[in-house]
Amino acid sequence: MTNLKCPVCGKYVNANNYNFNSEAFIDKNKEDSIVYCPFCGASSIFFSTSGEVYNINSQELDKNTLKIIDHAVKLEIFNGDFYLKASEMCKSDKLKEMFKSLSSIEYEHSRIHMRLGGFKETPVLINMNYSSYDTDEKLLKAASMREEHAVNYYEKYSKKINNKVLSKIFKILRDVEKIHIQLTLNEI
């Protein structure tokens, strides 16, 4: 297996990590057939062996675009925090692993946005009370709703930002979140 680099998160996919976070995907990577980045979920159609990583100069972004990226950081951290808590709350071992993997991917999305926006400090969000999600089904429904919100966010703002590379990344991440919707609905 050759080292492939994901241009979205900048990480290499290789024989040692191709199946990382596999519980967060419907289709599974195989050593001889990589479908997605195991770290951020981007489709392998964007991979290259050249080592290219999608980057932008955050100094060239307008205030509105920086605000959109800042909100995307918080959206992904919020969802990552939820999935981490859901992994502790759910009863099913299979769902525990799925929620942990989803958390890892959402946190990776937040790091992508922080890099693109030139943000140095990770925001700390308030701790939410998830005690009303007292069944695995309620956790899965909440997960699906969060993913739908993320899809809608990326869809809406990919058209309102002033940078083609950033718009492309929003569309790529939107497609990852669409897979997560299907994944969570499949478990209900």
pLDDT tens figures, 39-58? 999 999 999 778 899 999 99
Partners of 36 in beta bridges:
43
pLDDT digits (tens, 9 = 90+) for 7-38: 999 999 999 999 999 999 999 999 999 999 99
Q: What is the pLDDT along the chain (188 residues), one digit of tens a residue?
A: 778 899 999 999 999 999 999 999 999 999 999 999 999 999 999 997 788 999 999 999 999 999 999 999 999 999 999 999 999 999 999 999 999 999 999 999 999 999 999 999 999 999 999 999 999 999 999 999 999 999 999 999 999 998 999 999 999 999 999 999 999 999 99
Cα–Cα nearest to 104, from 123, 84, 85, 122: 84
Question: Residue 5: which H helix or E strand, with range?
Answer: strand 4-5
The answer to whether the beta carbons of residues 9 and 37 sit under 8 Å apart is yes
58-186, which class in CATH? mainly alpha
Measure Cα distances from 95 to 48, 66, 90, 171, 176 in Å.
32, 35, 7, 27, 18
Look up tokens 């718009």; give the residue: 167
pTM of the model as a whole: 0.96
The answer to whether the beta carbons of residues 142 and 85 sit under 8 Å apart is no
